[in-house]
Structure 1
């Protein structure tokens, strides 16, 4: 059984990505599971090529530094030839109506001029990601479940029409991770693509940057810490971050701290220490581009080899190979 998870280089990896997903991938992933940097998915809207390339390398370094085996990590564009061929096969299996009814396409294209065709077709590329690697489980949130269902539809249709090639993937909801909110605006999630980074802790931030951001975190006008997520979301966010870093309970942690200042200091130090090995490991790889390139090429070769027989079988059965 293979699980496939990806992360899109739309920005620098932030604390919520690590606490909510990446550290779980490193701790719980099985040898057959795969993790990839989905840089092709970041091209559906206007982007800076140099920045995209840099972010893809940075994210690969972070995934490896988190403890995920390099054997299970690759960058999506490094197998663009294989994915491109399979995407075309799947586009020839998919109807326009199936692609156009994807909720994300409807929402993101609404009222926009010059919408890229890739915004319509990227769910088919996502299906190629899944089917090429033989993934049987794809952990996704509700916003991506429809895309996995499309992959299932296309796999079933191809297998029924031309012959059995593809594993039928299942969308699975990932275990509930840490809920990390923006430090400057706790009404929204911390996001790597936020334009305003004042409330975002990035995993490669220096310790002093982290301390400053947490010290300036929005709380409320009260003075005694208490865990009340609905009434005091900013304070609850700090308590949940500290709990995620230390394995504690937010309500219990609140009772242990008598002031907001003490709580912020404890949270800052816990985040600094949680991210220290990740930052140091990733920076070491980024300072050794030859080694990172070697790891990247090896990961691409393994990913391509893993999907080659499926691609060749699909080409042959559809009459193109």
Structure 2
């Protein structure tokens, strides 16, 4: 053990204090929303809730789940997330792996074409017309195909393939008679679990939280994802606040809307938050992709 000087101890203390402060700053809003969702909405509005629920009630959750569209929205969102993430991973791998191979002729030019799309796009109206021309309006494919791949994620995965998987392993597999597809499936992908986990997290969270494309392309309520259903619930609760007549009716509507809003936040974000502990170690390793390693 190396004996620490007073300056070293002070540095460690300051670092730990800052990390604890960051932890509290990030964690407290999540804890507060959870507490507020099961507390008396009157005490929440009056600012009486801080660290412990008071007047425990599940009225907000009851109001939310009483809406039959919630379960349909959950099922739709799970379907869109699972299917969309699978399509995203397949497309990203199919683009990133060839670009990581040195023998691919013109890979720099192809990469430049991909990067070009990060700075310029067709815009909302041309994109909508294209989706409509392809017959995907009011279908789940309108939420999956236009966002089938993200260029930034292609670059990240390509960098991982180049820096973390030695070319000698792939060359030895070629000598043993493997073709490119076999090298990808048997050599590269088993060694690429960290980046696959990171990409799964990125894409699945994006699909789970997405509502704008559904708002633009979907017209049938039976196809609405969860986020769009919850958005309608919030809008309806706000409308009740505005049209409520009388002080008693207005106060009741405000309390009900407040309870619903916190319950909606928990319902919408709990599945995503539950994913992080299982993918944390892969996610941490994925953040170091492209870093200088000694």
* TM-score band, normalised by shorter chain: under 0.3
Higher helix proportion (structure 1 or 2) = 2
Q: TM-score, normalised by structure 2?
A: 0.25
Q: TM-score, normalised by structure 1?
A: 0.24
